[in-house]
Structure 1
């Protein structure tokens, strides 16, 4: 492939990542043959757009004199709106399925249900509450703003890792995109996830990377035990738990 062709292919994959992970206007895909898995390397880059918008809202709220708590809630709310609640929905579905299902088949059936149950509500409250309290605890915009961007990117890298490593739990759905992702895409995703953390300093990069690995690994192990592998909902839960873990790591090294 020529260099211009290679660049256009990567731009198409980045466009697909933005379309898949956000509600931002990114035009229409010209190449309908691309699978979601082909865009996995760019998922942390899409996260930068999400984190950047959250950071702008936080800075605006802070600039208007709002306290740290409301500023944090507005910043997180903006990120959720930009993503259409995609990851929160996946986390809630996994919690509902594994909390209410008796066996693998029933758990997967509940996860397909668009309705949310008590376990799902509690999971989302847990995620949002911990993230909001972490941002409030940092409070200094000079710390919060780069954290919002870096954490949004870093928490999306493990989705590529576990899409690649775990078997699909279903015969359809996002899980089969794992066939379109290769090891190099995973390495690039991890690299980008770390690069966007660099403004926080080397210790923070290492701490967040370890926390994200532990958090996402726990979700992956849980999913394998409960439903035999990964689904789109599992990847959403991976992102949410990774983001919570990343914020806790930021608190540990930056406060």
Structure 2
């Protein structure tokens, strides 16, 4: 059984990995620790969601309409994560879309410059997430959607890493290591529990199926094109998963209004 000190360190590792908040461990992260701490990723996602939810609540309280309030909430989550996953989405779109060979795709993904595919992917992601939040509109529902989207999207990352091998021998993904399936099951279970508490069991099952389909599609694409996953691929998957949960939340909100 993990000691309290190890649990706290895992939480600090997870939060420091997912955000720019100054909660990182006091000593450098050693090999294998990121894999052990992967259970904390949905908790780190909740922290990000809390920031976005708080900003939306404040924006609504001062009289802003859902559109600007949603944009401020979205911007706050980007700031608190240092745009880590947005960067991964852009690099993945540029690499997989622009490179002709495996080597060239990986080279493009390491380039800090953004290309046409990356810009289009970012704009699409931002518009979809913003429009979903604006469509939900009701502060309580938006706050729940943000919490669930950020927690569930990060809860799926260890499972994706467990099934899809690293494409490189170096880099963020390779250094973090592949979690064992039993380790990946813990954050996956936490993510499913959060979805069930927020949306109810039946809707949570639909969202889990949607996220599984998204993960399978992403896994097939990256294995076919570059032989595995990278840190950028994981970031892109998080963005796709977050967007999927927010869109589903918007659909649920709209169906409730129509009823």
* TM-score of Structure 1 vs Structure 2, range by shorter chain: over 0.9
Q: Deviations over 1:33-65 (max 9, x none)?
A: 254222211111100000000000000001111
The number of residues matched between the two structures is 252
Name the residue aligned to 1:24: 21
1:128-179 CA deviation, whole Å, 9 max, x = no partner?
1101111111111121111110111001112111111111100111232464
For residues 107-141 of structure 1, give each alpha carbon's deviation from its aligned partner in whole angstroms, at most 9, with x where no partner exists.
00000001111111111111111011111111111
> Unmatched 5+ residue regions in structure 1?
none
| Mapped contact 1:36–1:174 kept (Cα < 8 A) | no
Distance of 1:36 and 1:124 partners within structure 2:
27
Q: How does 1:159-198 map to 2 (within 5 A)?
A: 159-177=157-175, 179=177, 181-197=179-195, 198=197
**Aligned to 1:237, what secondary structure does the other structure show?**
helix
Shift of 1:204: 2.8
Query: Does 208-217 or 234-243 show the bigger shift?
Result: 208-217
Partner of 2:117: 119
Contact 1:92 1:119 in 2 (8 A): yes
Which 10-residue stretch deviates more, 168-177 or 55-64?
Answer: 168-177
The yes-or-no answer on 1:131 pairing with 2:156 is no
Q: CA-atom RMSD, angstroms?
A: 1.6
Aligned to 2:221: 222
Superposition TM-score, scaled by structure 1 size: 0.93
Q: After TM superposition, what 4+ stretches of structure 1 lie above 4 angstroms from structure 2?
A: none
Once the two structures are superposed, the pairs formed by residues 1-255 of structure 1 within 5 Å of their partners are 6-30=3-27, 32-34=29-31, 35-177=33-175, 179=177, 181-197=179-195, 198-255=197-254
CA apart distance, 1:31: 5.7
Is the contact made by 2:10 and 2:40 (CA closer than 8 Å) also made in structure 1?
yes
Q: For residue 124 of structure 1, give the secondary structure of its aligned residue in structure 2.
A: helix
Q: Is residue 37–residue 179 contact of structure 1 (8 Å, CA) maintained in 2?
A: yes
